[in-house]
Amino acid sequence: MWSRIASFLIRHRFTTVVCLLGITVLMALSIPDLGMQYKYGGILPEDDPTELAHARFLESFGAEGNVLVIGVEDARLRTAEGLTQWHELAEEIRALRVMVDGQPTVIIDSVFAITNAFEVLKHPSEKSFLLEPLAPDMVDAQPDAPPLTDARAHEIVDRVRSLPFYDGLLYSPNNDATLMMVVFNLDMLNSPKRGRIVEDIVETSDRWAVETGIQTHLSGLPFIRISITNKVKGELGYFIGAAIAVTALLLFLFFRNLAVVSVCLTVVAVGVVWSLGMMSLLDYKLSLLMSLIPPLMIVIGVPNCIYLVNKYQAEFKRHGNKMLALQRMVTKVGNATLLTNATTAMGFATFIFTHSPILVEFGVVSSLSIMMAFGISIVLIPALFTWLPEPREHHLTHLDRVWVDRVVGTFVATVQGKRTGVYVAALLVAVLSAWGMTQMVTTGNIVDDLPDEDRVLVDLGWLESKFSGVMPFEVLIDGKKPGQILSPANLKRIEKFQNLLREYPEFSRSLSAVDAVKFGVQAFYGGDPERYRLPSRQERSFMGPYFRGAESAASDVDDASAVTSNFVDSTKTVTRVSANMADVGTLEMEDLMARLQPRIDSIFPPERFDLTITGTSIVFLEGTNYLVKNLAISMTLAITVIALVMALLFKSARMVGIALIPNLLPLLFTAGVMGWTGIPIKPSTILVFSVAFGISVDDTIHFLAKYRQELRANGWNIRAAVLAAVRETGVSMMYTSIVLFFGFLMFAISEFDGTRSLGLLVSVTLLVAMFSNLMVLPSLLMSFAQYVTTRTFSEPFIDLLDEEDIVALDDLQVQKGASAVKGEERHEGLRGRG
């Protein structure tokens, strides 16, 4: 079959290349439509209880996580100049617009600062409450109004700071820190229509800080997620550039031929375009996770190029016929390369079965991209080389590497005479790794992947030190009885719950319908801060009309809808308590919730109330836990699927069992490294195991395929077959491991800690896998030869054709061993690839 494919690709190279380039152009044209992921979430399945609870909250109350805060701490805000400048900043931000369909569009719903604060006043004749601005001379200032004085500025600030309602919202009682809150339209903020509104606010705030000399601190989910999104966009090009640079350098060092480098870079560049185009066509968004796919395609696609080009040059060196060399390249390497790409794709595809939306998208795009990368390479490489000059003699010198032969000889000597040492070393690694695994932790913060010096973390730290945090924390309280959730008894329960939250420093000041009612009671008594409380039973009888307006004279405050509408659903069955909290890790969050839950149940008995804790902080916590729980599932699935593939290839269950050991050992080692070094399991590092397993198992397939061929060639001499397989496959594993090691290592340049850890861990895993497959696997084969090497093993279910031609291993050697020479004689002068 592959002979016919090779003939077709070479004869119809112009047509196939034109078709491929046409598809590439279509993919490239779709890339501008690739959207960015602006929202948090996507980890939990849509039917997960936590995700459903969050969706219910958004449906009932509309928005969460749509507030950007700007904090300052400066006594100059008590002066006329300072307060005026603060007010002008608020007005400048309020006036910002974005262009949507050619029209300036408002995305900011409101801007709230000290100068926009209001107080509640009693209107005796109307028996109602009025909202009165505290600084009308600033908010509604007329052009001919007298300038603000220092005394008036001091009065405004002191009045705001005297109102308990704004304690922890607009001001910190322990210092001069104050906040400005910018509230966005959530639907616009989560869409591309948001334009550069957040960036414009940051620029406006920074310019104001330079002009006034007052330092600003920005935070809130809009600022955090847009900052991270912009870093992702910046790193995408950075990573692609770095991956191409590393690839070009390794290819040049290997082949010493700029034409070969250019062909290989063309192949991987087309693969990158296809992967990005596929994301756009599938309407997936570009997130931190998805941004890893294009550089991954470069790293994983390079071995395809090395296998194919190396075989082409080795064949050309034999007989000097370029077209014949290209045909044999496809014939002898195509099937085996297809298989190794398929097993790698299977490792990535296991994420599809996690039911986590972001992992499903990652699994779909990455697995399809890997298979498309193979197709691109098998079409482009033979076609392009037909149009390039024949390789010259100095272009083929890379096939002779003395140092490679020496290193491989070390592996052979170790397997031949030091198997006990190999087992002891493997056992020691396993024991130490198992101990390291006991030190592993599962954690995750919304911003924990950012470097410590990043502005997002610095400003978040300031906000947490002054106001306890900015991460949304919402509690829904369902009273199960329509119209009764704000009964006097329930208001007291809510107040008790809010007092409970005050005991925990992780939470900022909470806000609920209780605070609205307390503000009204304070207003009834002339604004006395000491009266900021719930009304007594006697007070409810004469305060009721003020809360209801003039509509009725009922005595209860539970239907004070004008004051409490932002905190109660339309049926008055469900109310909310809103707070912010520090960006604590998942472990701390679990401990906090464990301590809170019994006390919450004592306030709201479960048999009478349905209480749901939600918000971005909770969704992120549960998402991280969900990923960890599914890690075992995805890994088990990956191992099972790849084991089935190996069983189909080798028709020996015993051999599959032996083959999995050297692939599980590197994963165990990596888990141990994570425990020793304190790298936690979190969304950004959880990919390590499935990705590394899917790639490293290729070496095992190469080795066993060559081993089976050597068994037949050596008359079922197991010892000779094992040693010959080590000699042949050792070179290929070394070269591909070098490429993959440095390719994944380039992720260490990322600004995101999780991405750096991912790159380092995968690199280490693949390096350990190389040693494991070249020493542990052959040692096991020799020690348990009679048990695992059955006759069925020598009869493949799937014929890889000349399996020894997979990577032209002996063509990389200067001094060929005896088995390699014999192999050439046995196979009509065609040298083996491992």
Residue-wise pLDDT tens digits, 494-510: 999 999 999 998 898 89
Q: State the pLDDT at residue 796.
A: 55
Q: State the pLDDT at residue 38.
A: 65
Token pair of 717 as six digits = 């001499």
Q: How far is CA 730 from the centre of its chain?
A: 35
Q: State the pLDDT at residue 322.
A: 87
Task: With a cut of 80, say whether residue 396 has pLDDT above it.
Answer: no
Task: With a cut of 60, say whether residue 805 has pLDDT above it.
Answer: no
Question: pLDDT class for 399, splitting at 50, 70, 90?
Answer: low
Q: What is the pLDDT of residues 336-391, one digit of tens each?
A: 788 878 888 887 888 888 778 888 898 899 999 999 999 999 999 999 999 988 88
The rounded distance, in Å, linking the Cα atoms of 384 and 308 is: 12
Instruction: Give, as one character, the DSSP assignment of residue 773.
Output: I
Strands (E), 582-643: 610-614
Q: What is the pLDDT of residues 103-145, one digit of tens each?
A: 888 889 889 999 989 888 888 877 788 888 888 888 776 666 6
Quote the percentage of the chain above a pLDDT of 90. Answer: 24
Q: State the pLDDT at residue 179.
A: 94
Taking CB atoms within 8 Å and a gap of at least 24, the contacts of 260-263 are 260/309, 260/395, 263/305, 263/309, 263/380, 263/381, 263/384, 263/385, 263/388
Task: With a cut of 70, say whether residue 822 has pLDDT above it.
Answer: no
| Mean pLDDT (whole number) for 35-61 | 78
Q: State the pLDDT at residue 568.
A: 85
The rounded distance, in Å, linking the Cα atoms of 501 and 515 is: 14
Tell which residue, 440, 466, 253, 286, has the closest CA to residue 362: 286
The residue among 642 and 58 whose pLDDT is bigger is: 58
Q: What is the pLDDT of residues 197-214, one digit of tens each?
A: 899 999 999 999 999 999
Among 41-45, 132-136, 519-523, 752-756, the minimum mean pLDDT is found in 41-45
| Mean pLDDT (whole number) for 684-712 | 76
Q: State the pLDDT at residue 144.
A: 64
Residue type, 426: A
Residue 192 pairs in a beta bridge with none
Question: pLDDT class for 810, splitting at 50, 70, 90?
Answer: very low
Question: pLDDT class for 823, splitting at 50, 70, 90?
Answer: very low
Q: State the pLDDT at residue 792.
A: 55
Question: pLDDT class for 219, splitting at 50, 70, 90?
Answer: very high
Question: pLDDT class for 820, splitting at 50, 70, 90?
Answer: very low
Question: pLDDT class for 819, splitting at 50, 70, 90?
Answer: very low
177 contacts 104 by C-beta, under 8 angstroms: no
Task: With a cut of 70, say whether residue 39 has pLDDT above it.
Answer: no
Return mean pLDDT, the chain. 81
The residue among 117 and 786 whose pLDDT is bigger is: 117
Q: Which residues of 188-197 are buried (b: 16+ CB within 10 A; e: fewer)?
A: bbbeebbbeb
Q: State the pLDDT at residue 142.
A: 61
The rounded distance, in Å, linking the Cα atoms of 394 and 398 is: 8
Residue type, 143: P
With 0-12 / 13-18 / 19 or more C-beta atoms within 10 angstroms meaning exposed / middle / buried, residue 544 is: buried
The residue among 823 and 498 whose pLDDT is bigger is: 498
Question: pLDDT class for 815, splitting at 50, 70, 90?
Answer: very low
The residue among 491 and 548 whose pLDDT is bigger is: 491
Task: With a cut of 80, say whether residue 558 has pLDDT above it.
Answer: no
Q: State the pLDDT at residue 825.
A: 38
Question: pLDDT class for 401, splitting at 50, 70, 90?
Answer: low
Q: State the pLDDT at residue 554.
A: 30
Tell which residue, 448, 623, 583, has the closest CA to residue 42: 623
Q: State the pLDDT at residue 712.
A: 75
Q: State the pLDDT at residue 398.
A: 62
The rounded distance, in Å, linking the Cα atoms of 319 and 303 is: 25
| Mean pLDDT (whole number) for 788-813 | 47
The residue among 37 and 607 whose pLDDT is bigger is: 607
Q: What is the pLDDT of residues 142-164, one digit of tens each?
A: 666 678 899 999 999 999 999 99
The residue among 728 and 27 whose pLDDT is bigger is: 27
Task: With a cut of 60, say whether residue 779 has pLDDT above it.
Answer: yes
Q: State the pLDDT at residue 695.
A: 75
Q: State the pLDDT at residue 817.
A: 39
| Mean pLDDT (whole number) for 68-77 | 93
Q: What is the pLDDT of residues 361-373, one digit of tens each?
A: 988 999 999 999 9
Quote the percentage of the chain above a pLDDT of 70. Answer: 88
Q: State the pLDDT at residue 93.
A: 94
The residue among 138 and 89 whose pLDDT is bigger is: 89
* Contact residues for 546 (Cβ-Cβ < 8 A; gap 6+): 122, 127, 128, 129, 520, 524
The residue among 27 and 755 whose pLDDT is bigger is: 27
Question: pLDDT class for 216, splitting at 50, 70, 90?
Answer: very high
The residue among 811 and 102 whose pLDDT is bigger is: 102
Q: What is the pLDDT of residues 281-318, one digit of tens each?
A: 998 988 877 888 888 888 788 888 887 887 888 888 88
206 contacts 238 by C-beta, under 8 angstroms: no
Q: 593 vs 572, 598, 783, CA distance in Å?
A: 27, 9, 53
Write out the DSSP string of 154-213: HHHHHHHHH-GGGBTTTB-TTSSEEEEEEEEPHHHHTSGGGTTHHHHHHHHHHHHHHHH-
Task: With a cut of 50, say whether residue 561 has pLDDT above it.
Answer: no
Token pair of 803 as six digits = 């399996």
